Structure formats: structure tokens, C-alpha cells
Structure 1
Amino acid sequence: MPRENNTSINRRKFIAQVATAAGSAVVLASPFAGFAAGFSAGTMPVQERITVGQIMDLFIKQAPGAPFSNTVDTLKSGSRDVVVTGIVTTMFATVEVIRKAIALNANFIIAHEPTFYNHTDETAWLEKDDVYRYKAALLKKHNIVVWRNHDYIHGVKPDGVRKGLVDQLGWQRFEDSNHVIYNLSPAMTLKALIGNLKQKLNIEAVRYIGDPEQQCKKVLLLPGAYGGKNQIQSIGNTQPDVLVCGEVSEWETAEYVRDARAAGKQLSLIVLGHIVSEEPGSEFMAKWLQEKFPAIKTTHIPTGSSLSFL
């Protein structure tokens, strides 16, 4: 969800320009072996009472340049000192997710996106709002901590959200050296590619621009909300057959693709939806937690799309 401010610009820098790795490599036996040199080895002692702050700090230090001076990755409820009984990873700490966490005896929710309906989770404007008050009271009553992990998971090398998505698609072998282009082999039609994406990501429907019979080999993959300028510039720099993205402003990238096709370019667009394109990042986070803190039960709860198709 891009914002036209400094935080938004910094946020996209984490995604578009990942810094160089730092730290030690994980052990070869780990499911993350070879994944990122910046992820240190080892787990916390099983007998230790692990706090929210310990978990946060261990993940944060994996991101090159951390801690970030300007970040939205702050606690939205609760305290760093709370001893963790269980963890839930998710895209949004929705009321439904909070209730499921309570049922699981999980008092730590790690969400990728805002909890209180705006990028910085400002709440002053919501103080008299019934929905906000209900949600905040529910978190307080059950002493549940919510941490937003957005900038740091995008800031690790490689980007944890992208890795989760690429792993779910099974596209690791297609990845180009610039980490945004995927050269499919064999190529497939736009219609077949859409069907493949829907099946692997469990999507009911997607929006698209293009000829369903167009051959697609070179895919530009930009999950989440890169913003129109970044999407259009990336198209110009890489010249893909198709852009597969999380979301677009209809008056930006979609209109560029429409004009590109009218000008004779064989360029298509597939819009997955923001949530579905980044949900695999929360699964990536769950796997990391299961490796580093095996004594704590970690559960990934998908939020799914808030919108339905009729």
C-alpha cells in the first residue's frame, strides 16, 4: 500500500533495492540453507522464556542496515516484555485472526500490514470509532501483542515476501539475476499463465489486460504495491511479455499497458491482488519462526481477500 510520503519512498526502497547481506550463513541442514547469508544460525534455548522483544530483535538484525530509523514496523498493541505463549503470522491482524489466536492460546501476532486502517497505524482519528474501540479492547483484554513486520521482511536478502511467493509458484529456476524477471520454460499462453497463477495461489479470479493467446515467456513479477511509476519504469527497463503484480492504480499502470498495446507492443498485465501476492511472505515468516523458536507453537493464518467476486 504505497503512500505519497517519505515513509512510502523508504518502504519501496527496501523492496526495489535490497542491501548487501551481513552476518553468518545458516547451517546446511536447515530448510533455509543457502537462502540468505544474513540469517544467523542457531535457535533460542528451549527452556528459556522467550519474550516478544527477543523474537523481534533476532529477526530485525537479519536485515542489512537495521534497525531502520524510519519504519512502520512497531508494536500496535502490547509490550516487548510479554512472554510468548504462541505466535500467529498473518497479513492483517483482523478481528477474526485475533479470535483464532485467542483459541490457539497465541498471544503474539506478527502482521505484515496495518492493524488500524492506515499505513502508520495512527489512531487519534479513530478514538470515537466503534470498530476501532472493539478491536483495541479485544487485544487489551487478552493481552495480545501485535507487531507489524513489513519493512524488515522486505529488507532481508532476498526479500522474504518475494521468496515466499516464488517458492509457492515454484519459479526459483526461472529467476533472472535482477530478481524481478522470471523466464518461463517453456513459454505459455497468457490464458495458461493466468490459470497457473490462480491454481497455485488459490485465487478465485484475476484482472488482466492482453490477448489470452499471447505467448508469455519473460515475466516481470512485482508483488504488493510497487506504485505506478516504479511499475512503468520497470517495464521500460526489462521489456517483459507480461507484468504480474499485486495491485495497480487503474489510472496509472493499467492505462500505460493499454496504450503500449495500442502502440504495437506485445505487453500484458495480470493483477493478482495485493493480499494474495504477499500472503506467502507470512508463510515464510512462520517457517523462520518454527526454525528459530521450535519450542513455541507458530501458526500461519491466511486472511484471504477482504473483497468477494460476484
Structure 2
Amino acid sequence: MKGFCLIIFVLAILGSVQGQLKMGFYSRSCPKAEKIIQDYVNQHIPRVPSLGAALIRMHFHDCFVRGCDGSVLLNSTSSSGNQTEKAATPNLTVTGFDFIDKLKSLLESACPGIVSCADIVALATRDTIVVTGGPSWRVPTGRRDGTVSIASEALSQIPAPFNNITTLQQSFANKSLDLKDLVLLSGAHTIGIARCPSFSNRLYNFSASSSTDPSLDSEYANTLRASKCRTPNDTTTLVEMDPGSRRTFDLSYYRLVLKRRGLFESDSALTKNSRTLRYINKILQGSLNNFYKEFGLAMEKMGRIDVKTGSSGEIRRNCAFVNS
């Protein structure tokens, strides 16, 4: 009986090990997988560098709902009547799906049924940020694709730009991320753009006592009203999160946050907690290379959220649809 129990224990350990992400997961099954992604990114991203911000947002939104399983890529289907994460308000402005589809097509041609859509998103995000001059980080692979995608889960689980620090802390804690991760990952806003509805409440009719959010620098608020979001109903204008430095992955976002010029309420929230404020000051006191290192560690940690490995999930043939 003891021998039998030992065998079961060893098998369980082996299963656990095999179920973990690892560097070079495709080194035997599809040796050129990572190079195919990198080459395509190197070829196309210099012409559309804005995809860097788009893909990092896609990766973030994917990982915060059912883990990093590519569920954000799934299309809604009329036959089932199911509205997928793509249809949720936070994802209506996510872009880059065509880019991921093209990468999937290339990988299916090279190695059919081997490389998951979830891994493609994780690898392409890192490679895109590197090409645009930003940090690199480790991307262990072996994720499998989920088969469930529900719009209401995206709406309730993806942190919102109007969240306060308490809500943000809880959202991140639910995914085993801490306040330091919150501050570091928010640094991606240095290359981001936003549409007016995500922050215009800070400019118009903010509260019964103030039309403008008092935590937003008044001069910056006036500029936004005068030259960007000129009406409360503007839904199309794009605004840089890091004015004047949007194409550079640097520390200026944090400087703006301390000047009360963070675009979102969630940016301002980082200054209203002693720990997050301390992390911001530490980042600014350090070097850009140190920030890159810390940001990379946070991205790798995020990329491990509730991943499906081993026999869980599937390897989708088409990223927009589950296998039939």
C-alpha cells in the first residue's frame, strides 16, 4: 500500500511539473515558433508602433478574466446567443485582434495545432514593446486556450479607469497581484491612449460640489476641455495618457501622476495610498533600467495568472473560435 501511495505521489508531482509554464516550451514541438512571432513583429510594428500599447492592454484584459487563456480573443456567436468578453464595455476599444490572427495563421502553417493563442498574445506583447524601445521580460510558455468567454465577467473583473485605490487593490489581490504590481503595471500608461468617456467625468459634472475632479490639476483639466474632450459626449477623440512622451517607454508617466496630471481617476488613486506613493517615488529615484527590470518581473507575474496547462483547455485552430 505504501508503494502504491508513493507512485501516486510521484505521478502527482510529475503532473504538477508538466503543468507549469517554462521557457522554451515549444523548442521541440515547434522550434521556430518564437522566432516566427518575433520576425513578424520586427517587420510590422515599426510602421504601427501604437500596437505596443494595444497589445499590452489586450494581454492585461485577457489575464484578468479567467486567467491568461486567450478568452478575450473569442467572438460572440449568434447560434449560442453568448456575448463574449469582446462585447464587454472595457474591451470595445481593444485593438490588435487582426494582428494576433495573422500570427496564428503563420504558426498554424508552420506547426498545426501546437502553439496556443494565449501564448501568442503573451509573446507578441513582449516582442512589440521591445521593438518600440521598451523593456523586455521573460515569457515562459505552455499556456493553453480557454473555451469559455463571458462578457459580464469582463465587465466585473477588469479594473476600471474610475476605480479608487481600495477597489484597485482588491481587483489585483483577486489575481494574486499586490500594490507594487499595481504601480508597476500602471507604468504601461506611458505609451497609452484613451478615449474621452474613460475620463471625461473628471471634466464635467464630477460631483454636486465640483464640475471638475479636484484631484486633477486644474490647468491640465482646462487644456483637456479646450483642445481634447470639448463636450461631455465626445466618444471618438483620442488622448495621450503621457502627453509629449507617448512613443517612449519611460518614467514620465509617474512624474505626471505626482503633478496631479494622471489622466484617469485610477492614476490619481496611486497617490492616495502611502505604499503606492512610496513605490512611485522609489521608481523615480532609481534608474530607467531598474524600472525596466521591475516592470518585466511584474509582467511575467501577470502572465502566470490562472493559466491553463497540461490537459486543461485546448489549442485553438482559430483564435476567434473554440474548436468544434
TM-score when normalising by structure 1: 0.27
TM-score when normalising by structure 2: 0.26
- Larger-Rg structure: 2
* More strand per residue: 1
* More helix per residue: 2
